[in-house]
Amino acid sequence: MQPSKEAYDRASTIFSPDGRLFQVEYAREAIKKGTTTVGLKFIDGIVLIVDKRIHSHLIEPDSIEKIFQIDDHIACATSGLVADGRVLVDRARIAAQINKITYNEKIPVKNLVKQICDFKQSYTQYGGVRPFGTSLLIAGVDEKGTWLFATDPTGAFVEYKAGSEGHGRMEAMNYFEKNYRDDMSLEKAIDMGIKSIQKGSEKNLNYDTIEIAVITAEGKYQKLSHDESKMYVEKTLK
């Protein structure tokens, strides 16, 4: 008699006979239910765009944060369980500050991604814990170039030129495959990012719930104001 799936999904440390970790797969499902996040490299830096997907007019949009600054030259966008994302962001900020105090220099983007993913991987290997139900799109600029990484609950990470996580990921990635170019300006990148989010949205985008942040080639982080973000959305979707 074939064992049921329930025999293998009681802990993240148990493999099924076909090599699956069901708790990790459940964490991925939590990410798929999260808001759509996108990141795109452009000719002078990198941009992160998030649809905060607020369903009630009673909620203050500014109280929901989906893009976080980690260091002067690194930021991330979260999709999935908000509290899980906040814990990982705090850990990333500490790692960046430790590197700055220890070596008197900014942490390389890939080193930070590896540290965060090592931490995420440890939560799939020990009993009594569960995987993080969030994916981070980590963007940054350092001496070696411009970087965009997507992280997975397993602790794996992939570098992209343009990437997406969350509910509308497949539609956004299909749009990038057809339209992305390496030589885009900031305005073109934001336009493409907003359109990709719209492709994966079940409803019309709410102009008040789009959040945009930019990291320039000089390694300077800036989150656009509400009015600036709204202006870009109106210009793209008019």
Using one digit for the tens of pLDDT, what is the confidence trace for 106-121?
999 999 999 999 999 9
Q: Are 5 and 23 in contact (CB under 8 A)?
A: no
pTM, two decimals, is 0.92
Asked if residue 131 belongs to a domain, the reply is: yes
The answer for residues whose C-beta is within 8 angstroms of residue 93's C-beta and 6 or more apart is 70, 71
Asked if residue 92 belongs to a domain, the reply is: yes
Asked if residue 58 belongs to a domain, the reply is: no
The answer for residues whose C-beta is within 8 angstroms of residue 165's C-beta and 6 or more apart is 31, 34, 36, 37, 77, 79, 80, 135, 137, 150
Segments forming the whole domain that contains residue 73: 40-52+63-228
Confidence (pLDDT) at 3:
52
Structure tokens, 78 = 């979260």
Asked if residue 122 belongs to a domain, the reply is: yes
Q: Are 140 and 45 in contact (CB under 8 A)?
A: no
Asked if residue 236 belongs to a domain, the reply is: no
Report strand pairing: 145-151 vs 157-159: antiparallel
Structure tokens, 176 = 């990038």
Asked if residue 11 belongs to a domain, the reply is: no
Q: How many domains are contained in the chain? A: 1
Cα(238)–Cα(236) distance, integer angstroms: 6
pLDDT at 37 over 50: yes
Asked if residue 22 belongs to a domain, the reply is: no
What tens digit of pLDDT does each residue of 67-91 get?
A: 999 999 999 999 999 999 999 999 9
Confidence (pLDDT) at 1:
37
Q: Domain with 145 in it: what CATH number? A: 3.60.20.10
What tens digit of pLDDT does each residue of 183-222 get?
A: 999 999 999 999 999 988 867 777 788 999 999 999 999 9
Cα(82)–Cα(68) distance, integer angstroms: 12
Q: Give strand pairing partners of 67.
A: 77
Asked if residue 27 belongs to a domain, the reply is: no
